[in-house]
Structure formats: structure tokens, C-alpha cells
């Protein structure tokens, strides 16, 4: 199934290209799809994702994969700091503590990931969520939703 993809380029990214893409950091935006687009395209917010997925599976691209989106802030994963430089930022619209990820969000994420997974030769070890890379500051995704997502990744790519 091909999900609709729209582009709303964000001004909030580093123009210098990222040198490596080792995996993905998953987020939830807390806000609605539309409100998150408004935030990501506002230069004063100083935050961006590479991609956002709506509950119906529609995707919005904010930052090209080869640029550094500002999604993880102060972060560390697998012994490396500043996850923005080596992990793509993929967010789900909404708050996983209030509503679970929809089947369409999961399917759309897998569809978005597929060509990147093959191109970068990713492994499950390099998939994480914001809660794990910035545990003192962030709590997304809800642990049960991370477990669901990780299981879907393992079933598709593992």
C-alpha cells in the first residue's frame, strides 16, 4: 500500500550533510499532524524531524535524509553523542501515552523505512526511540508502543 506523502520543508536543520545514517530515532509529536507541521515549519521552534506520520498513514517530509534534522537534542546512543548526526528522525503525530499507534502509522513507517533499510544496510540494533537516547529529558515513545513498533520492525526487517 502506498501512503500519501507531502513535503513541507522545515527551516530547522543543518545544511551540512550528514556523513552517515546508522539508523532511526522514533518520536511522537504530542500534537496533531497539522499542528506539528506548523511547528516544524516555524523557524523559531528550532526543531524538526525528517518525517512525520499521521494516524491515517499520510507522511510529511520536513528535512531531506542527507541533511541533519534537529530532532534528538542532547542525546547519546550506542556510545555516540548527538544522535541528530547519525540517526534519522521519524515521528508519529499524537501522543503514544494517550493513544496507541494506529495500524496505518505502523504500516506507513515500514513503507518509509524499506528503501532506507536496504540502502543503508541497517540492523535492529540501530533503531531506538527518543526515550532511550535522552532518558532524562524525554519519554517518547510509550514503552508498550516502542515494543509494538520494534516487533513490527523485527517482523519486516529482522
Q: What pLDDT digit, counting tens, does each position of 114-135 carry?
A: 999 999 999 999 999 999 999 9
Task: Report domain extents, the chain.
Answer: 5-157
- pLDDT above 70: residue 35: yes
3-state helix, strand, coil in the chain (%, to 5): 35, 25, 45
Measured between alpha carbons, how far is 71 from 93 in angstroms, rounded to an integer? Answer: 14
Q: 15 pLDDT band (50/70/90 cuts)?
A: confident
Q: Select from 131, 127, 53, 35 the least CA-distant residue to 92.
A: 53
Q: Position of cell 545544511? A: 15
Quick one: fold of 5-157?
Answer: Lysozyme-like (3.40.80)
| Residue 20 pLDDT | 85
Task: State the pLDDT at residue 90.
Answer: 98
- Contact call for residues 14 and 70 (beta carbons, < 8 A): yes
Strands (E), 9-124: 13-17, 23-28, 51-53, 59-61, 67-69, 76-77, 80-81, 87-92
pLDDT of residue 102: 98
In a 10 Å sphere around its CB, with 0-12 CB exposed, 13-18 middle and 19+ buried, how is residue 73 labelled? Answer: middle
Read off the pLDDT band of 18 (50, 70, 90): low
What's the pLDDT tens digit per position in 43-86? 999 999 999 999 999 999 999 999 999 999 999 999 999 999 99
pLDDT of residue 1: 73
* pLDDT reading at 42 higher than 70: yes
Q: What is the mean pLDDT of the chain?
A: 96
- Does the pLDDT value for residue 19 go beyond 80? no
In whole angstroms, what is the distance from residue 109 CA to residue 90 CA? 8
Q: Read off the pTM.
A: 0.96
Pairing mode, strands 76-77 and 80-81: antiparallel
Amino acid at each position: 500500500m502506498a501512503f500519501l506523502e507531502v513535503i513541507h520543508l522545515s527551516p530547522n536543520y543543518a545544511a551540512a550533510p550528514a556523513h552517515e545514517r546508522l539508523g532511526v530515532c522514533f518520536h511522537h509529536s504530542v500534537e496533531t499532524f497539522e499542528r506539528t507541521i506548523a511547528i516544524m515549519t516555524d523557524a523559531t521552534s528550532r526543531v524538526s524531524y525528517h518525517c512525520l506520520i499521521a494516524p491515517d498513514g499520510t507522511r510529511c517530509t520536513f528535512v531531506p535524509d542527507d541533511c541533519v534534522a534537529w530532532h534528538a537534542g542532547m542525546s547519546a546512543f550506542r556510545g555516540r553523542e548527538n544522535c541528530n548526526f547519525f540517526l534519522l528522525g521519524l515521528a508519529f503525530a499524537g501522543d503514544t501515552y494517550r493513544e496507541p499507534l494506529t495500524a496505518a502509522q505502523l504500516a506507513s513507517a515500514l513503507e518509509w523505512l524499506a528503501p532506507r533499510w536496504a540502502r543503508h544496510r541497517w540492523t535492529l540494533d540501530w533503531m531506538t526511540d527518543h526515550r532511550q537516547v535522552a532518558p532524562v529529558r524525554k519519554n517518547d515513545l510509550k514503552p508498550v508502543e516502542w515494543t509494538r513498533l520494534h516487533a513490527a520492525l523485527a517482523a519486516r526487517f529482522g
